[in-house]
Amino acid sequence: MSKLGVCSWTLGITDINALMEKVKSLGLDGVQFSGDWRNYKAQEIRDAAALFNLEIFAIDPFNCEPPEPEQANTEAAIEFYKNIIDFAVEVKAPWVTLQGLPKWTVNCGNSNDCWEMLVHCCKTLDAYAQLKKVKIAYECVNRYESSMIHTAEKARELIKAVGHKNFGLILDSFHMHIEEPDPVEALKKSQGLLFSYHISDSNRSGIGRGQVDFVKHHAVLEEIGFDGPVMVEVVLPELVPTNIPKTALQRERLDEEIRRSVRVWRNLKEKKHI
């Protein structure tokens, strides 16, 4: 059975020990660390994860936009992500996510220039990551949150252009519901390239609150032999799409929604459905 984690930004906890304690209390195996990495030391993240016997599945630079729009260029983007790869090495995280790169293409003249810049950046970062023995991954994100790479097909095109198996993709049920004509087929065609799968219903809430067919998703993941980590990325309805809990009651509701989704997902292994 795949290990289960959470995308840390959703919890809204900045203190690293409190974050790991919360992840452990939710019955999870680890975390996709999505905080602003510049605010942390790698050693403190490793120590906090070890204290609660948790894994760091990935470094996901949620705060990844250029400091100023005029500073968005190829060289600056590559330098930014090289620093994150170095940070992942220190944390001992197996991969870094690159879906924030389109934020650095804002000064490109047209869509073809954006694509060429993205491919060049990914090729350069892939080579650097190989030297550092870290993998890189790209999450397909919907059109309302990213300007590029919305579907698994386009992500596979990017991976093919980069040309190395060190580069994989992440598929999220929420984003797929918006962008994929057939999410199950998208999962199936990503066999061998899929690093991680994210749980989030069509309305960004937990399993069963929207229209995603998680029974079919779970079945096809088993069919393709997927064994990577599964991340819960749930947001409360009033906070959609990317706002964090602000009150004790919201935090309590989010905790229960995560716990419930974890129970349902694990029960699907035993063919118990909601």
Domain ranges of the chain: 4-268
3-state secondary structure of 149: coil
- Each residue's pLDDT tens digit, 68-79: 999 999 999 999
- pLDDT higher than threshold 60 for residue 259: yes
Enter the DSSP assignment of 29. S
Enter the DSSP assignment of 146. -
Q: What is the pLDDT of residue 272?
A: 46
The upper half-sphere exposure of residue 120, i.e. CA atoms within 13 Å in the direction of its Cβ, equals 15
Q: What is the pLDDT of residue 1?
A: 65
Q: What is the pLDDT of residue 192?
A: 96
Give Dmax over CA atoms of the chain in angstroms. Answer: 53
What is the DSSP secondary-structure string of 38-90? GGS-HHHHHHHHHHTT-EEEEE--SS-S-SSGGG-SHHHHHHHHHHHHHHHHH
Lowest pLDDT segment from 116-125, 160-169, 225-234, 262-271:
262-271
Res. 160 pLDDT band, cuts 50 70 90: very high
Rounded to whole angstroms, the Cα distance separating 205 from 253 reads 11
Q: What is the pLDDT of residue 274?
A: 44
Identify the CA nearest to 234 among candidates 258, 208, 263, 202. 258
The mean pLDDT value for 139-147 works out to 97
Q: pTM of this prediction?
A: 0.96
Res. 269 pLDDT band, cuts 50 70 90: confident
Rounded to whole angstroms, the Cα distance separating 102 from 147 reads 6
Q: Degrees (nearest 5) of the Cα angle 191, 112, 184?
A: 25
Q: Please, where are the H alpha helices in 133-227? A: 152-162, 173-179, 183-189, 214-223
What percent of the chain shows pLDDT beyond 70?
Answer: 98
- Each residue's pLDDT tens digit, 85-102: 999 999 999 999 999 999
Report the CATH fold assignment for 4-268: TIM Barrel (3.20.20)
Sequence-ordered list of residues with C-beta below 8 angstroms from that of 142, at least 6 positions apart, any chain: 150, 174, 175, 178, 179
Residue 208 corresponds to which amino acid?
G
Res. 48 pLDDT band, cuts 50 70 90: very high
- Each residue's pLDDT tens digit, 190-243: 999 999 999 999 999 999 999 999 999 999 999 999 999 999 999 999 999 999
Res. 161 pLDDT band, cuts 50 70 90: very high
Identify the CA nearest to 254 among candidates 4, 1, 13. 13
Q: 52-56: long-range contacts at Cβ-Cβ below 8 A with a sequence spacing of 24 or more?
A: 52/20, 52/21, 52/23, 52/24, 53/24, 54/20, 54/23, 54/24, 54/28, 54/29, 54/30, 55/3, 55/5, 55/29, 55/30, 55/31, 55/229, 56/30, 56/31, 56/91, 56/92, 56/93
Rounded to whole angstroms, the Cα distance separating 55 from 196 reads 14
Q: What are phi and psi of 234, to 5 degrees?
A: -100, 140
